[in-house]
C-alpha cells in the first residue's frame, strides 16, 4: 500500500469528484484521498486523454508508486461495430472496468476513481459504482460541478426565488429539447460538441436564444464565454455548456405568479390600434396524441402562444415561433387573464386543458375572466372553445358503455363548493338511477372524501352498485378495475383515477364488459 491514512483503507472504492477543470477547485478531501490511494483509475478517450487525470497531476497528487488504471472508452464519436449497438458496447465496457477494479479491491487495495466535476452527475463512475457497490464498500466524494463553474464564468444569476432549473443533455432530439427549454425558467445544456447546431435551433424554437450564454473550458486558462448567437459551431468542444438564466418571476411555492409579474415577463407588449387576437380554449383529450382532435392539432400548429398547466403543456409539440407559458395547477383565473392579455396585444393564443376544456377545464375560467373585464373601450377578445375527448367517456369506452344511459359528471374536489353540497348532489343522482362519473376522487389533501361518499351511497342505494375504477386511461400505466360499492378499496384510488358508479340497471358481462341500458328497468 502507498502512504495511506485512515481515509484510504484497503479494499475500499472511492468515487472522487475533481471539479470542473482548475486544480484549485479540488476539495481538501478529494486531494487527500488521491494522494494516499493505492490505485488511481480514470476514464479516458481513445487517444489517451483524461481531463480528470490532468487536474490531479497539475495539483501534484499522483505519487510515483501509485498504480494507474486508464479505462479507455471503446467509442466516443464515430460508428461502433457491436451487435447491441452503442449502448451495448458501453455496457460491456463498464462491466470490464468493474472487473479490473474488483481485482484490486479483492487484493485489499484502496481504489480512487477520478470523476470530472461530481461523480454522480452524468459521470462514468456511476456505472462502476452500481456494479461494485453490492460487493465492496464504496464512498462518494462530491465535487464542484460544471454547472457551478459555467454559471460563475458567465457571471449570471442562474435562479432567483421560485425559478426552476432544468439540466438537459444536448443529445436530446431538437423538438424535445426545445419543449423542455420552453417549460422551465432557467436551464443548463451540456454535452455539446457536434450537437451544438441542434441545441442552438432548440434554443431558438423555445424563444430563449437571445439570453443564452455559451461557456467552454470553465475555470481553466482556456475559459471562453460568448453569447450563443456568436459561437462558431465548427469549434465547439464536447465539454462546453450553455446557460439560460432565469428571469425571476417571483412566484410563490405553488407556482402562483402574480398576473402583473407574468405580464411583465411576457415577450408581447400591447400595441395601440392592433386588432385583438383570439383565445382558443382546447382539449387535448385524456391520453396520447391519438385522442387529440384534428381541429385542436391544427390550432396548436398555428397559434403564437400556448398557455396552460405545465404537464398539459408538455404534451404540446414545440415548433419555431411558439412561445409557451406554463403555470401551476390552481391558478386558472390568472392563466386565463394572461391569455386574454396576450390576445389583446394581437396574438392568437391556445389555452390547453386535458380531456375536454368545458368539463372541469379551462373554458369556464377563460369565460369568467373575460366577463370580469371592465369596459375600457378596447374591442372584446374573441374566445372560442374547441371540444376534446373527456376522461369519463374514454373510461366508459375502455369497459364497454357504462355511460350508455343517463349519466352525470361530478367533481369530488371541495375546493370550490362545500363537501355536503357535492355529496347531496351525488346521492340524489344515484337514488334516481343516474350513472355518475366522479372526477378528482381522492388526493393527499382529501384522503377521506371518497370513503365518505362511498359510505353514504352504500347507506342509500346499497353495496351492490357496479363501480369502475379507471386509472391513467390512454397513458402509460393504464388499468381498469370493475368492482362494487361495497367492494371498493378507497386506498387504491388517487388523482390519476376516475371512478364511475353505475345505475341499478348497469350490467357486467362474463368477459368483463360493463354497459348501462338506454331505457329504464
More confident position, 448 or 500: 500
Distance CA 136, CA 155 (A): 42
Distance CA 398, CA 479 (A): 10
| Residue pointed to by grid coordinates 390552481 | 330
Q: Which of 100-104, 258-262, 335-339, 354-358 has the lowest mean pLDDT?
A: 258-262
- Specify the pLDDT at position 521: 58
- Specify the pLDDT at position 54: 95
CB neighbours of 377 closer than 8 A, spacing ≥ 6?
A: none
| Residue pointed to by grid coordinates 382546447 | 282
Task: Encode pLDDT of 403-457 as tens digits.
Answer: 999 999 999 888 788 889 989 999 999 999 999 999 999 888 888 889 999 999 9
Q: Which of 48-57, 327-336, 471-480 has the lowest mean pLDDT?
A: 327-336
Check if the beta carbon of residue 279 is closer than 8 Å to that of residue 384. Answer: yes
Q: Is the pLDDT of residue 70 over 60?
A: yes
- Specify the pLDDT at position 445: 80
Q: Is the pLDDT of residue 252 over 60?
A: no
More confident position, 247 or 69: 69
Check if the beta carbon of residue 206 is closer than 8 Å to that of residue 182. Answer: yes
Q: Is the pLDDT of residue 107 over 80?
A: yes
Q: Is the pLDDT of residue 382 over 60?
A: yes
Q: Output the CA–CA distances (angstroms, integers) from residue 271 to 276, 277, 334, 344, 464, in the order listed.
A: 10, 12, 21, 8, 62
Mean pLDDT of the chain: 87
All structural domains of the chain, each given as residue ranges with its CATH number in brackets, are: 13-144 (3.40.1010.10), 148-244 (3.30.950.10), 260-386 (3.40.1010.10), 392-515 (3.30.950.10)
Tell me the three cell numbers of residue 254.
Answer: 405553488
- Specify the pLDDT at position 311: 80
| Residue pointed to by grid coordinates 466524494 | 141
Give CB contacts under 8 A, 24+ apart, made by 293-300: 293/386, 293/387, 293/388, 293/389, 295/386, 296/386, 296/388, 299/350, 299/386, 300/350, 300/352
- Specify the pLDDT at position 398: 94
The mean per-residue pLDDT over the stretch 170-174 comes to 91
Check if the beta carbon of residue 480 is closer than 8 Å to that of residue 470. Answer: yes
Query: Please, is 395 exposed, middle or buried when counting C-beta atoms within 10 Å of its C-beta (0-12, 13-18, 19+)?
Result: buried
Q: Output the CA–CA distances (angstroms, integers) from residue 180 to 101, 205, 322, 468, 487, in the order listed.
A: 38, 11, 13, 35, 42
Confidence of residue 75 (pLDDT cuts 50, 70, 90): low
Distance CA 168, CA 189 (A): 5
Distance of CA 82 to the CA centre of its chain: 32
Distance CA 261, CA 264 (A): 5
Q: Which of 36-40, 45-49, 346-350, 487-491 has the lowest mean pLDDT?
A: 45-49
Confidence of residue 290 (pLDDT cuts 50, 70, 90): confident
Distance CA 155, CA 375 (A): 46
The mean per-residue pLDDT over the stretch 88-99 comes to 89
Distance CA 171, CA 193 (A): 10
Amino acid at each position: 500500500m502507498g502512504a495511506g491514512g485512515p481515509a484510504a483503507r484497503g479494499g475500499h472504492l472511492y468515487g472522487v469528484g475533481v471539479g470542473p477543470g482548475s486544480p484549485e477547485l479540488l476539495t481538501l478531501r478529494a486531494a487527500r484521498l488521491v494522494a494516499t490511494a493505492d490505485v488511481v483509475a480514470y476514464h479516458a478517450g481513445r487517444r489517451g486523454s483524461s481531463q480528470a487525470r490532468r487536474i490531479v497531476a497539475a495539483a501534484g497528487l499522483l505519487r510515483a508508486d501509485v498504480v494507474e488504471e486508464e479505462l479507455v472508452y471503446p467509442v466516443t464519436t464515430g460508428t461502433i461495430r457491436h451487435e447491441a449497438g452503442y449502448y451495448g458496447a458501453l455496457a460491456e465496457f463498464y462491466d470490464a472496468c468493474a472487473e479490473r477494479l474488483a481485482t484490486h479491491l479483492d487484493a485489499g487495495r484502496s481504489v480512487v476513481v477520478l470523476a470530472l466535476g461530481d461523480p454522480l452527475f452524468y459521470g462514468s463512475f456511476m456505472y462502476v459504482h452500481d456494479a461494485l457497490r453490492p460487493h465492496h464498500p464504496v464512498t462518494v466524494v462530491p465535487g464542484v460541478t460544471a454547472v457551478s463553474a459555467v454559471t460563475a464564468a458567465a457571471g449570471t444569476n442562474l435562479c432567483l426565488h421560485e425559478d426552476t432549473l432544468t439540466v438537459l443533455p444536448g443529445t436530446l432530439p431538437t423538438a424535445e429539447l426545445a419543449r423542455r427549454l420552453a417549460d422551465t425558467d432557467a436551464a443548463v445544456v451540456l454535452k455539446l460538441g457536434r450537437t451544438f447546431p441542434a441545441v442552438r435551433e432548440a434554443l431558438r424554437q423555445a424563444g430563449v436564444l437571445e439570453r443564452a450564454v455559451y461557456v467552454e473550458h470553465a475555470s481553466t486558462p482556456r475559459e471562453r464565454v460568448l453569447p450563443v448567437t456568436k459561437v462558431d459551431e465548427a469549434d465547439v468542444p464536447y465539454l462546453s455548456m450553455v446557460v439560460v438564466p432565469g428571469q425571476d418571476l417571483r412566484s410563490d411555492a405553488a407556482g402562483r405568479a402574480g398576473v402583473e409579474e407574468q405580464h411583465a415577463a411576457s415577450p408581447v407588449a400591447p400595441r395601440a390600434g392592433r386588432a385583438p387576437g383570439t383565445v382558443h380554449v382546447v382539449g387535448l383529450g385524456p391520453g396520447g396524441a391519438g385522442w387529440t382532435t384534428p381541429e385542436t392539432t391544427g390550432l396548436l400548429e398555428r397559434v403564437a402562444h400556448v398557455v396552460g398547466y405545465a404537464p398539459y403543456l408538455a404534451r404540446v409539440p414545440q415548433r419555431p415561433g411558439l412561445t409557451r407559458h406554463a403555470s401551476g395547477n390552481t391558478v386558472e383565473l390568472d392563466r386565463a387573464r394572461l391569455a386574454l392579455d396576450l390576445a389583446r396585444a394581437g396574438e392568437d393564443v391556445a389555452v390547453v386543458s386535458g380531456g375536454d376544456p368545458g368539463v372541469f377545464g379551462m373554458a369556464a375560467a377563460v369565460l369568467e375572466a373575460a366577463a370580469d373585464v371592465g369596459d375600457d373601450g378596447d374591442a372584446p377578445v374573441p374566445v372560442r372553445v374547441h371540444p376534446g375527448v373527456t376522461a369519463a367517456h374514454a373510461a366508459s369506452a375502455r369497459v364497454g358503455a357504462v355511460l350508455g344511459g343517463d349519466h352525470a359528471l361530478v367533481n369530488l374536489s371541495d375546493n370550490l363548493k362545500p363537501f355536503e353540497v357535492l355529496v347531496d348532489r351525488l346521492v340524489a343522482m344515484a337514488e334516481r338511477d343516474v350513472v355518475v362519473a366522479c372526477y378528482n376522487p381522492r388526493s393527499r389533501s382529501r384522503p377521506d372524501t371518497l370513503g365518505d361518499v362511498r359510505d353514504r351511497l352504500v347507506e342509500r342505494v346499497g353495496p351492490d352498485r357496479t363501480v369502475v375504477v379507471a386509472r391513467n386511461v390512454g397513458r402509460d400505466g393504464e388499468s381498469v378495475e370493475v368492482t362494487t360499492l361495497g367492494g371498493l378499496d378507497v386506498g387504491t384510488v388517487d388523482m390519476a383515477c376516475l371512478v364511475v358508479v353505475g345505475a341499478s340497471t348497469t350490467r357486467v358481462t362474463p368477459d368483463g364488459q360493463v354497459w348501462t341500458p338506454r331505457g329504464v328497468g
